A and B are shown apart, each in its own frame.
Chain A
Amino acid sequence: MKFNTLIIGGGLAGLVSGISLQKAGHSTAIVSGGQNALHFFSGTFESLEEAPERLATLLTEAGIRTHYQKGVRLMPLGTFRPAALSLEDISLFPTPKFGKRVLIVNFNGYHDFFSSFLAGGLEKEGMTCRIQQLKLSELEWLEQSPSEMRSVQIARIMDRMWEVVVQEVRVLLKDEDTVILPQVFGLQDTSVPGRIRQGIPAQVIFAGTLPPSVPGLRTQLLLKRRYELLGGTYLAGDEATGAHVHDGVVHSVVTKNLDTHFLEAENFILASGGFFSKGLVSNPFQISEPVFGLDVEQTDDRSGWYHPDFAQDQPYLSFGVKTDAALHAIQNGKPMKNLYAAGSILGGTHPELGTAAGLAIRSAFAAVDQILSR
């Protein structure tokens, strides 16, 4: 199988690259291992202040609703964080005090949404809070098994049953000006969060849950759908295991599922993520990149990988594959001619590209531009 560009990694960086290249008329394929950082997406595009024109267009065309305003957002444990460009579900406020009286509604028996922590945080800001549990017969079958009551399972039901929640909340609502609900709405149907907001006569805030993140999964689904609509080939559940490289040029990539059917391409983008996604792997002695054996920025020995204080920035998180200024990945000290690195596999090797979602998007666009200008 031959493509103009083969992308390794189906997360934010991989999908943004794929969509942009397909739109520019390239034929591409994405090899995706399955879970990626979008499953833990907070809903805020970290280190992106506002959407550059091309990102705004890309997201809108994929059906992803965003908004931006410099301010703060409410975090699931009741703290506030600075935020700007965010998914539409995420409420942005100029200051943490967004209301006076707040009704926090949770599903009975759901422990991945932190009502007490939310209330504690809001009370610190001078708001009064009332916590209510919603007992819905629609969720009863989730109670059958002790480990079924999780965000995605609830979200699947809520895609059909969200109107029941609106009705119940209207009954519970007394004199509160704000209602906080768990972020389990609109997994498939993107209009649901907006319609819930219209249906409840108060300001509605969706607060995050333990992962998987429902807005993150939705973003992943929409980007993937858009990519496939543009004709891209999304190889889900596969994993790149090696590559054929001659003279600094990648010819093809070997994957677990396709075995001897090598994936050939003119260009390659490596967007396989950080440690969690196995874009970077480690043993007691070193950190390495498993597909191409690229050079990885790191300290000489393990003692420099960590900060003993969990709360501090951890050095290992800044490690990543080395590239030249044009994001050509470097192997044995030499830039590869047609291999670009994008997303969190870069770690902190390009501080100007930002971190997390910002890094994924900026580096994906930069790699795409390099490929299109060839």
Chain B
Amino acid sequence: MNHNEFDVIIIGGGITGAGTQRDCAMRGLRTLLIERSDIATGATGRNHGLLHSGARYAVNDPESAEECIKENRILRRIAAHCIEETDGLFITLPEDDLGYQQTFVDACRKAGIRAEIIDPDLARRLEPSINPELIGVVRVPDGSVDPFRLCAANMLDAKLHGGQVRLHTEVTGFIREGDTIRGVHTRNKVTGEEEDFYAPVTVNACGIWGSPIADLAGVHIGMYPAKGALLVFAHRVNNLVINRCRKPSNADILVPGDTVCIIGTTSTRIPFEECDNVAVTPDEVTLLITEGAKMAPSLSSTRILRAYAGVRPLVSADNDPTGRNISRGIVCLDHETRDGLSGLVTITGGKLMTYRLMAEIATDTVCRKLGIDKQCETATTPLPGSGEQSYESVAQKIWENPSMAQKAAAARMGTSASRILTDNRLDERLVCECEEVSVSEVNDAIERLDASTLTDLRRRTRIGMGTCQGGFCACRAAGLLAKASGCIEKEREGLAHFLQERWKGNYPIGWGDTLREAEYTQWVYKHVLGI
């Protein structure tokens, strides 16, 4: 068997692609995942990081709500180190209709979601950041999930099952014989190297970019990009997820995650050309702050770290020629039955919460095509790193007397943190002081998690995500990358690119301490370090 032949090729390194690769690999298939950039660069890494209970969908979309609560329970079991079991509150403010609360609770219960009306006084004690003027509260099993970690863990498990991953590699075309897709042409975006890969089935798992990929294969999928803008605050003001108990609208979810909290989102249709470079507008920033402060008043005086936006892949229903009718939920297209083109499957729609189910559906389709009869086991097999429930017990087992930094590493890596156990005290040196990331954790991400740029490192370790936004840690981490790669010019460009990427999320909210930090970073990199 040739080294570039596989059973299945997966295009897209978001959570759907990574999850599909894991599922395929666990069912014994030889898999290759191709991603044009890095893991979780699309919608996967650009959302709230909300572990939905499904409550948000209960009234309007009971099917999604049921999927969510099912997957919510599964993720708590298989991805313990990627999630936080915070619980969530759906609050009714004086301006909202309290009558909606009962409709909401009934719908939740019907979907199998624990929804408990609690006394506003109890809610104010449980979550002191909450708007004290609230008139009604429902508690649901929401939580938070780190999508970068979840994506990396899926990909790592796929690799442990023999899967191969090509990051920063772009699919430039399909290898087609008559009405059959036999494989893909690719080009490495760093080295420029072109390579062909072959497989009887290719899975298109590219989110909104699934549409242009389908175009490459000569089939059409009607998709609409919908931008959602979010803000990250520099402090974790809330410990429970806070939602508005009303019909889903703009800026009505506040999610705590790691050291920060995130408010969002908006929904704006944008043209396809803007998908690769979505910017947050001043109006969106104002809307998010104003609406956010209604849920947690202290947000109006909390430093904002950055603004960012993701693009939801909305798929138009196949049976509607106008394209106006949007399919909610998961869309799995077998292009053989749909378009007469065999060897290609598209999995799209859905949401972060239902990635595992999407992967299962896609993998079932792949297996059916390959004539393989093997059950899906992803719902019961924990991801690497998820062997323990609490990061504190993980840290305790690895280090006798863990430091704050070691606990932080255990929270990020779960039981995999044992990989960064080191005899060399110098490797415990902190590269990133805001998020307490050590030299050995950075080196682990370079060696084992395919990180080759600063931005890749950020997604795997949280480097540059803290209050300094890379001002201090970026050049240290770049030094470690330079040592690993030996290619100084690439790392210098990478450093400039990283600073630009951080600035992109800083200037839309560039005032107060953010502007102070920006002035410092400008001065230090341009005039002191000489980038």
Do the two shown chains form a genuine complex with each other?
yes
Q: Establish whether residues B480 and A210, one from each chain, have CB atoms under 8 Å apart when the complex forms.
A: no
Contact A276–B519 (Cβ < 8 Å): yes
Q: Is B476 an interface residue (CB 8 A)?
A: yes
A112-B476, A146-B428 given as contacts; is B528 within 8 A of A208 (CB)? yes
Neighbouring A residues of B405 by C-beta, 8 Å: 146
Would you list which residues of chain A between 231 and 265 have a CB under 8 Å from chain B? none
Complex Cα–Cα for A305 and B282 (A) = 12
CB contact list, B148-201 vs A, under 8 A: none
B77 to chain A, nearest CB (A): 34
Contact with A along B480-497 (1 / 0, CB 8 A): 101100001101100110
Binary contact track A60-84/B, C-beta < 8 Å → 1, others 0: 0000000000000001111111000
A contacts with B, residue count (CB < 8 A): 54
Assess whether A111 is in contact with B479, with CB atoms less than 8 Å apart.
Answer: yes
In angstroms, how far is the closest chain A Cβ from the Cβ of B440? 10
The secondary structure that dominates the A interface is: loop
Which residues of B have CB within 8 Å of A299? none
Instruction: For the complex formed, measure the closest distance between the CB of B407 and the CB atoms of chain A, giving whole angstroms.
Output: 13
- How far does the alpha carbon of A309 sit from the alpha carbon of B507 in the complex, in Å? 10
Q: Is A201 an interface residue (CB 8 A)?
A: no
Interface of B is mostly: helix
A211 touches B (CB below 8 Å): yes
Inter-chain contact B527/A306, CB cutoff 8 Å = no
Contact A77 B476 (CB under 8 A): no
**Judging by beta carbons under 8 Å apart, are A78 and B488 in contact?**
yes
Q: Say yes or no: is A86 at the interface (Cβ < 8 Å to chain B).
A: no
Known: A111-B476, A120-B488, A276-B519. A211 touches B524 (CB 8 A): yes
Residue from the list A211, A274, A281, A282 in contact with B528, Cβ < 8 A: A211
- CB of A208 within 8 A of CB of B529, answer yes
Chain B residues within 8 Å of A124, by CB: 489
Q: Which of the listed residues A210, A278, A305 has the most CB atoms from chain B within 10 Å of its own CB?
A: A210
Q: A147 contacts B482, CB within 8 Å? A: no
**How far, in angstroms, from A41 to B529 measured CA to CA in the complex?**
10
Find chain A residues with CB under 8 A from B518 CB. 275, 314
Interface size of B in residues (CB-CB distance below 8 Å) = 51
Chain B, range 484-531, C-beta contacts under 8 Å to A: 488-489, 491-492, 495-496, 499-500, 502-504, 507, 510-512, 515-516, 518-520, 522-524, 527-531
Residues of chain A with a CB closer than 8 A to B499's CB = 310
Q: Identify A275's interface contact among B496, B519, B529, CB under 8 A.
A: B519
Within 8 A of B (CB), among A282-331: 282-284, 302-303, 305-306, 308-311, 314, 316-317
Q: How far is the CA of A271 from the CA of B478 in the complex (A)?
A: 35
User: Beyond A115-B479, A308-B279: 4 further Cβ-contacts under 8 Å?
Assistant: A114-B475, A143-B425, A146-B430, A310-B502
Residues on A lying within 8 angstroms of B by beta carbon are 37, 40-42, 46, 75-81, 108-109, 111-112, 114-117, 119-121, 123-124, 143-144, 146-147, 149, 208, 210-211, 213, 274-276, 278, 281-284, 302-303, 305-306, 308-311, 314, 316-317, 356
